């Protein structure tokens, strides 16, 4: 597999390779060219072109593909436009389930489109932000669809809920795998899922944002009985991508 995404767009080669790809209409549903999602379709302009080239976050995708098995239940927390939602949908198969959580209306529309064009009948979308409490919160949108985050000064009001409360309501089933990428609210997600973590003990793919949040998440997970492994070549303490296994 050629890792196109590893070639910097700031180099001559990167610019040259990307130039013809930018001619693809943004609204076009194009086939994903390689990797576990090969042959599935992707709205070209919904995210980085590495998504439909099949090379976005390649090492993490490969690790997820080794962990997720048919019949599992996976949560995509911070689903954005659905890259990991589609990946886990393919991996769990018809007998599995994927619960995708995303609060931003523009992202939700593209998430739904990527789900529907692939007829992902095993996916359920929750239009909310996962946190440590239920109610509403302010959200700050950013120019990049993947960079928005909960912020008391944000201009967008979104619904929020904890995984434990959703579980208590019967809205979600116990997960085997959690993927969490929420631009700084990772600790709140974990704290709001304490019962799930202690009982179901799901494998967690965690992206952290900032050293203080990272340290707090590591401490919380270790106290909850999890061992930690880095996914991006650094130590656990300095990594921003972790694998947590109970």
Domain ranges of the chain: 1-56, 57-245
pLDDT at 222 over 80: yes
Handedness of CA 91, 5, 231, 209 (dihedral sign): negative
pLDDT at 101: 97
pTM: 0.88
Task: Give the mean pLDDT of the chain.
Answer: 89
Query: For 187-192, what is the mean pLDDT?
Result: 96
Share of the chain above pLDDT 70, in %: 86
Give 89-103 pLDDT, tens digit per residue. Answer: 999 999 999 999 999
Burial of 239 (0-12, 13-18, 19+ CB in 10 A): buried
pLDDT at 147 over 80: no
Q: Which residue has the tokens 């890259």?
A: 83
CATH of 57-245, one of 3.30.70.360, 3.90.550.10, 3.40.50.150, 3.30.70.100: 3.40.50.150
Label the pairing between strands 156-161 and 41-43.
unpaired
Give 56-75 pLDDT, tens digit per residue. Answer: 998 899 999 999 999 999 99
Q: Name the token pair of 112.
A: 């739904």
pLDDT at 214: 95
The H-or-E segment that residue 59 falls in is helix 58-67
pLDDT at 15 over 60: no
Query: For 127-148, what is the mean pLDDT?
Result: 81
Is residue 182 within 8 A of residue 100, CB to CB? The reply is: no
Helix (H, G, I), strand (E, B) or coil at 220: helix
Helix, strand, coil fractions of the chain, as percent rounded to 5: 35, 20, 45
The H-or-E segment that residue 227 falls in is strand 227-230
């Amino acid at each position: 597999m050629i890792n196109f995404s590893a070639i910097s767009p700031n180099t001559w080669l990167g610019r040259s390779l990307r130039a013809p790809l930018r001619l693809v209409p943004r609204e076009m549903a194009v086939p994903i060219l390689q990797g576990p999602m090969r042959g599935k379709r992707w709205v070209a302009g919904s995210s980085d072109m590495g998504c439909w080239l099949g090379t976005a976050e390649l090492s993490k995708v490969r690790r997820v593909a080794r962990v997720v098995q048919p019949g599992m239940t996976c949560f995509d927390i911070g689903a954005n436009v659905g890259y990991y939602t589609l990946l886990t949908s393919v991996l769990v198969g018809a007998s599995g389930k994927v619960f995708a959580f995303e609060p931003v209306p523009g992202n939700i529309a593209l998430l739904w489109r990527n789900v529907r064009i692939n007829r992902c009948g095993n996916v359920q979308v929750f239009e909310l932000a996962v946190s440590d409490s239920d109610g509403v919160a302010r959200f700050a949108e950013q120019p990049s669809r993947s960079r928005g985050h909960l912020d008391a000064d944000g201009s967008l009001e979104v619904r929020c809920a904890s995984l434990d409360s959703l579980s208590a309501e019967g809205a979600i089933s116990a997960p085997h795998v959690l993927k969490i990428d929420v631009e700084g609210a990772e600790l709140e997600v974990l704290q709001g899922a304490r019962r799930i973590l202690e009982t179901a003990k799901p494998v967690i793919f965690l992206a952290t944002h900032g050293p203080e949040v990272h340290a707090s998440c590591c401490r919380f997970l270790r106290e909850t009985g999890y061992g930690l492994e880095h996914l991006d070549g650094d130590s656990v303490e300095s990594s921003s991508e972790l694998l947590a296994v109970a």
